[in-house]
Amino acid sequence: MGGTATALADRLADRAQRVLVGGVSRGFNNLPEFGPLYVESAEGAWLRDVDGTRYLDCVMGWGSLLLGHDPAVVRDALRAALDSGFLYQQETQAHVELAELVHRHVPCADRVRFTGSGLEATLFAIRLARAYTGRQKIIKCEGHFHGLHDSGVLSNGATPPGEPMPDGTVVPGVGSAGVLESDATLVVPFNDPDALEKAVRAHGDDVAAVILEPVALNMGCVFPTPGYLESVREITDRAGIVLIFDEVLTGFRVALGGAQERLGVVPDLACFSKAFGCGQPIAALAGRSEVMSLLGPPGVVPMSGTNSARVLSVVGTLAAMRTLAEPGFHPRLAALNDRMVAGFTEVLTDAGVPGHVVGCGGRISVFFGLAEPPRTFRELSRAWNRDYHVKVYRRLMSHERVYGFIPLGLAPDPINLSVAHGDREQEELLDRFASAVRAVPYRDS
Ligand SMILES: Cc1ncc(COP(=O)(O)O)c(C=O)c1O
């Protein structure tokens, strides 16, 4: 443990090392330089650790907690559900109402099925696309993340950019040991329709799906360039390839109907989690009836799990989704986002620190060292000043008690704000960020 360690946290860390691999129950909890935070309670935008230190939370459950910690609307729904038995693995009225809500608001969602995590949703989407097309390969974009399954983990932002190849693809970065060796996952640069066109020309008859994050929120925050998603839609349509939008991060955050609503391009399948649920362990796969009908039962691709769509998760998610669907919710979130993007930009300008700030739906990326927004993972990883980012992160954690700006891979992890980040939290965050940036002299790395 580093600068945040105190007595009880130290003792817990010692005990954890003896029973938990790497001292954590979940890999990403092992924060670079600081190890795990041992949290005692959380409320709104604040975390309190076991030694009484308060942190302004800008991770917010890795983007899940769009309503903040412990929102009353979700807590009350969960309490009520506890009184009627919370673990019968059956359908309820809440399941139907939640599916209706997704169907009503998400453009591609003719049909919906629930599962437990983003990883599962993208895994089933890919398998479903293979079953539907009778083809084996998939194409993903460099720097995009779809969960830690064999194809999701490749070139996910933790591996350096791959060398471009003549067929439009890049050499895949292997994001984990133990991944099945296979050429079934092809990787192309994001925002490069020509590369995709080439790859489809070379491999199209074997390609079941193109999967991408419609706004790339795992490599900072990178918007699709004008016309890019339209080209992807046109190329996949022409080649009979299933287009999957991984909306695990964009879903219900950038708009109620996800990036597909906001950007006006409708995929065949889409995956949701994180803000869908606002903290519940739930995900959804949604899409066109013709494709979705292959899910079993009645179709040939079984999709179920002991803990899928637990009633408690569904009831909590329904309460959260009804709040997100209230008129004015997303405009309010967009205003918060824009205010904070402008605020961070001003801090950088005042401090004379080169950088670019981009955000959507409160997921905001500060790209130190970049003069303009990046379009591809290669562009970003060339220009991003990771050393400076790490120093600011260290200062924010240890001196300013801001939990966020975590340097996870080879792209900056954006912060996640929520509607619980009110005026006071927004001001505090900008003040604390400004102090950290002022305290760390900028150097080109
Ligand atoms: C875009 C995207 N897809 C899928 C996943 C995997 O979701 P989970 O962590 O629920 O397995 C993530 C997780 O961060 C993600 O950001």
* Cα 178 to Cα 421: distance, rounded to the nearest angstrom: 40
What's the pTM value of the predicted model, to 2 decimals?
0.97
Gap from CA of 217 to ligand 1 centroid (Å): 10
The ligand 1 site (C-beta within 6 Å) comprises 62, 117-119, 122, 145-147, 213, 218, 246, 248-249, 273
| Whole-number pLDDT of residue 65 | 98
Q: Which residues of the chain have pLDDT under 50?
A: 1-2
- Per-residue pLDDT of 7-57, as tens digits, reads 899 999 999 999 999 999 999 899 988 889 999 999 999 999 999 999 999
| Whole-number pLDDT of residue 2 | 47
* Cα 21 to Cα 168: distance, rounded to the nearest angstrom: 40
Q: Whose CA is nearest to atom 14 of ligand 1?
A: 147
| Whole-number pLDDT of residue 1 | 45
Gap from CA of 49 to ligand 1 centroid (Å): 26
CB atoms within 10 A of CB 278: 26
Question: Which atom of ligand 1 is closest in space to residue 116's alpha carbon?
Answer: 10
- Per-residue pLDDT of 79-98, as tens digits, reads 999 998 877 789 999 999 99
Q: Which residues pair with 243 in a beta bridge?
A: 210
| Whole-number pLDDT of residue 28 | 87
Q: Can you state the percent helix, strand and coil of the chain, rounding each to 5?
A: 40, 15, 45
Do the beta carbons of residue 301 and residue 56 sit within 8 Å? no
| Whole-number pLDDT of residue 97 | 98
- Per-residue pLDDT of 349-387, as tens digits, reads 999 999 999 999 999 999 999 999 999 999 999 999 999
